[in-house]
Amino acid sequence: MIEAAGLEVPAIVGDGRLEGKVAIVTGGGSHGPLAGSGAAISILFAAKGASVLVVDRDDERSQNTLDVIERGGGVCATFGADITDPEQCRAAVDAAVGRYGRLDLLVNNAAIAPAEKLVDDEMWQAVLNLNLRAAKLMTDAAVGHMSEDGGGSIVNIASHAGLRAGGGIAYTAAKSGLIGLTKATAYEFGRQGIRCNAVAPGHVYTPMGIGYTGWSPELNGARRLRAAAGLLDTEGTAWDVAYAALFLASDEARWITAVTLPVDAGTVEVMPLVMYSRLAEAAAESTS
């Protein structure tokens, strides 16, 4: 593990898998040593040869990610935008094409996950606006350029909350809708050479992920329990999400579209009751 610009980054093999590709990653900013999925995806894509445009409403966070990429010898630029505004989405895409000459990859990663004790209409609108509608707006802005250039790949960062209930009403609805958007986009634009897939992260250790335990933010040993909920009994990170996105974005997945790939150590594929003893054991360990 190396540390660059305050962000911990694992060693990455620069194998050129995305050489010559141009990518936009929304919500790709970073802050502090722990990478979120957007930062990890941006850094990994750049290390694999892509020219990356990090789109984030927070310029300081975007600059942090850019600094990491440039220190690693990658190509990156930033663009400040509110992607719930269709004009700003079009401006972001135009900025990528204007700077790099084309657009091959779009990763719709930006999201919020507020505490949902009581979901009023304002929160509902805010969550669906960024977590679902913004992905549609960015897709609308991107597909024309991708089609002109012979195709492309869109990767939506969904969640296992889109596959199972429990992630909050608005968040679950938005991520479930994003999985549906993935399938519909794959259908509508497949004949134009555009693939669309989704990654559904589970209980990954990210700045957003550590705020959710499924019980209470104050619960002792929450990280241990989150790991125990999966079949591997280990903790996933943003880099696990990033490598899944890399595969789906790359030409190695050229015949894969409309797929949602869970990155969750098998959490959604097992009956909850059979995990009870393992979770109880982990809970006992964390409180002893």
Active site residues: 171
Distance CA 256, CA 88 (A): 30
Secondary structure class of 25 (helix, strand, coil): strand
> Closest by alpha carbon to 44, among 64, 81, 17?
17
Provide the residue count of the chain: 288
By the 8 A CB rule, do 130 and 161 touch? no
Angle between helices 37-47 and 238-249 (to 10 degrees): 50
Residue 67: how many other CB atoms lie within 10 Å: 16
Q: What is the 3-state secondary structure (H, E, C) of 184-229?
A: HHHHHHHHHCEEEEEEEECCCECCCHHHCCCCCCCCCCHHHHHHHC
CA pair distance 230, 279, nearest whole angstrom: 10
